[in-house]
Chains A and B, each alone.
Chain A
């Protein structure tokens, strides 16, 4: 796991759909590389046979009966959207 370079940061930023100012990229390269250096400490830890821990109490996903419990609240929820029409969220045209 080597340190990152400028093009790595640009690639990760695109994967995250996250705009990053060109002038800030060198700083992100340094910061991210330092963070990755720090977490590299874990490489030397023997975790053979250790079960990954997803929930601190090892609880599993609860299931419930398949019944309608929530009312349709579309109008209230869409009132907070930047742009809607006819109950739909609007984004720039995707298909010509």
Chain B
């Protein structure tokens, strides 16, 4: 049962082959026996899961099955879940039991989905390896010495190891697509503003976006059908009709214009990864797509631009973690400054501190124009590059990451090299575009993800292109040996 996709499980539930309670118990049992090796979950919620599963079965029996009725899912621990610990991977929020649900959680609850638990992540989503989590690193199911990627590493590893049929992730600079690539699963970061950010603990508000992490593109469409939509409670949410993302999955790709940015295949890309991406592109040619080399001349500015904008916004967002209203407070503060300084000093880990310091500096008096405003300008140049490219092509493709998963501990002392593992994904966030990573093969025995980038709100086109690839290939069906 645990090898089935959401689409297959929904069919099974509908046909009465098994109940949601049986299905949920299967996954809870797998989590119980296998999670210890991987550390995918910060919190497992068996009581809630079984209660929701029972309710889902009752709703189906009464003819009121929602879109994801009875389907077990796992939620990244960045989403506020009422009555359940919501830690965001940090010691700072270790004591935080959320008093409300994020909009995404409410939507999944209304669809009849079942929550298995909250997945591990880099602290406050700041990291590319899941090693910054206060709850310990997550292991990659394909090689337990390797990282799963980050920041949505717990979600990616849990889907890859079949501990959950699907999970949510969030992506500020690649945090859905890079772990999807490292773990051999399908991950979609929607257009900025497509999915509500309400109750999703903010890292960099002008970049953050939630999306599905699944086995298949077909499942990603089913998840996005529930997640997408305008939310009054998110001030940057876009009020625009939500299509049925499953409708176009089977469209022909004949004549689809695919752009390959030459900058994505330059120095820094692992040779074996490049070979996998090239053969994936050939697969698209076989399906009738037209391949065109394009240029994104400001690509090299994406990482430096991001490492001003993201830390600046994080330093502002995280100022609310002050030890006064919720979360961690130090013992015996002697005055108000001592309370702030020690609560934050003891509650945050090294990478979060590093980014708060960079952001505070960039936003401080005398530097704001030179750093933050400058980066907002280069951000527009990066976005303009994509606009020009999309005058010529329908979809842009390339690697999701420059390498396969690196080993735990390999890059922890080298933040800049770690930052460069998001070199192909960051520009997409800066431009607010939708992006996906889908399994495209293996290099050095580890999964490689093909990245697909679309125009604003072209999620259906990406899902269509991804689904057609998955009909021709079986990379997305591969299961790590240890978790078969």
Q: Do A and B come from one complex?
A: yes
User: Using a CB–CB distance below 8 Å, which chain A residues touch chain B?
Assistant: 1, 4, 8-9, 12-21, 24, 28, 31-32, 34-36, 38-43, 45, 47, 50-57, 59, 61-62, 64, 73, 76-77, 79-83, 89, 91-94
Say yes or no: B341 contacts A82, CB within 8 Å.
no
Q: With A and B bound together, what is the CA distance between A12 and B356 in angstroms?
A: 9
Give the distance in Å from the alpha carbon of A18 to the alpha carbon of B337 in the complex. 10
B326 at the interface (CB under 8 A from A): yes
A82 to B336: give the CA distance in the assembly, Å.
Answer: 14
> Once the chains bind, are A28 and B357 in contact (CB under 8 Å)?
yes
6 of the cross-chain contacts (CB-CB < 8 Å) are A18-B345, A20-B357, A39-B304, A42-B301, A52-B379, A55-B192
User: Pick the contact of B305 from A12, A42, A94 — CB < 8 Å?
Assistant: A42
Please measure, in the bound complex, the distance between the C-alpha atom of A94 and the C-alpha atom of B335, giving whole angstroms.
Answer: 7
Which residue of B329, B354, B364 is within 8 Å of A82 (Cβ)?
B329
Residue B324 at the A interface, CB < 8 A? yes
Q: Are B304 and A41 in contact (CB under 8 A)?
A: yes
CA of A59 to CA of B193 in the docked complex: distance in angstroms? 10
**Which residue of chain A has its CB nearest to the CB of B420?**
A38
Q: Which of chain B's residues has its CB closest to A83's CB?
A: B329
Q: Collect the chain B residues with CB atoms within 8 Å of residue A19's CB.
A: 341-342, 344-346
Shortest beta-carbon distance from B273 to chain A in Å: 23
Alpha-carbon gap, A94 to B26, bound state (A): 55
Is the beta-carbon distance between A16 and B323 smaller than 8 angstroms? Answer: no
Most chain A CB neighbours (cut-off 10 Å) among B324, B339, B367, B377: B377
**DSSP class of A's interface residues: helix, strand, loop or mixed?**
loop
Q: How far is the CB of B258 from chain A (nearest CB, A)?
A: 23
Shortest A69–chain B CB gap in Å is: 8
Q: Which of B126-134, B280-288, B368-376 participates in binding chain A?
A: B368-376
Stretch at the interface among B146-154, B169-177, B231-239, B475-483: B231-239
- Check A35 against B358 for contact (C-beta < 8 Å): yes
Partner of A32, one of B301, B358, B430: B358
In the complex the two chains form, what is the Cα distance from A40 to B193 in whole Å? 30
How far apart sit A36 and B360, CA to CA, in the bound complex (Å)? Answer: 13
A-B contact count (CB 8 A): 167
In this assembly, does B325 line the interface, its C-beta being within 8 Å of a C-beta of chain A? yes
What residue in chain B is nearest A80 (Cβ atoms)? B326
* CB of B308, distance to nearest CB on chain A (Å): 5
Partner of A56, one of B322, B324, B342, B430: B430
Top 4 nearest A-B pairs by Cβ distance? Answer: A19-B345, A56-B432, A52-B376, A47-B377
Chain A residues near B338 (CB-CB < 8 A) = 92
- Given known contacts A34-B415, A52-B377, A83-B329, A59 and B236 CB-to-CB distance under 8 angstroms: yes
13 further A-B contacts with Cβ under 8 Å, apart from A13-B357, A57-B456, A81-B325, are A19-B342, A32-B361, A38-B416, A39-B304, A41-B300, A50-B380, A53-B376, A53-B379, A56-B192, A57-B432, A62-B235, A73-B99, A92-B339
Which residues from chain A contact B255 at a C-beta distance below 8 Å?
none
For A40, the chain B residues whose CB sits under 8 A away are 304
B157, CB-defined interface residue at 8 Å: no
Distance between Cα atoms of A55 and B431 in the complex (Å): 9
Known: A39-B304, A80-B97, A89-B324. A17 touches B341 (CB 8 A): yes
* Residues in chain A near residue B232, CB distance under 8 A: 64
Chain A residues contacting B370 (CB-CB under 8 Å) are 1
Once A28-B354, A32-B354, A55-B206 are accepted as A-B contacts, the answer to whether A61 and B380 lie under 8 Å apart by CB is no
B333 at interface, CB cutoff 8 A: yes
| B334 interface residue per 8 A CB criterion | yes
Whether A82 pairs with B323 at a CB distance below 8 angstroms is yes
How far apart are the CA atoms of A43 and B371 in the complex, in Å?
9
Query: Contact partner of A35 among B307, B344, B373, B432, CB < 8 A?
Result: B307
* Residues of A contacting B430 in the complex (Cβ-Cβ under 8 angstroms): 56
Write out, one digit per residue, whether chain B residues 171-194 have a CB within 8 A of any chain A CB (1) or not (0): 000000000000000000001110
B96 at the interface (CB under 8 A from A): yes
Query: Closest residue to A21 on the B side, CB-wise?
Result: B345
B361 vs chain A, min Cβ distance (A): 5
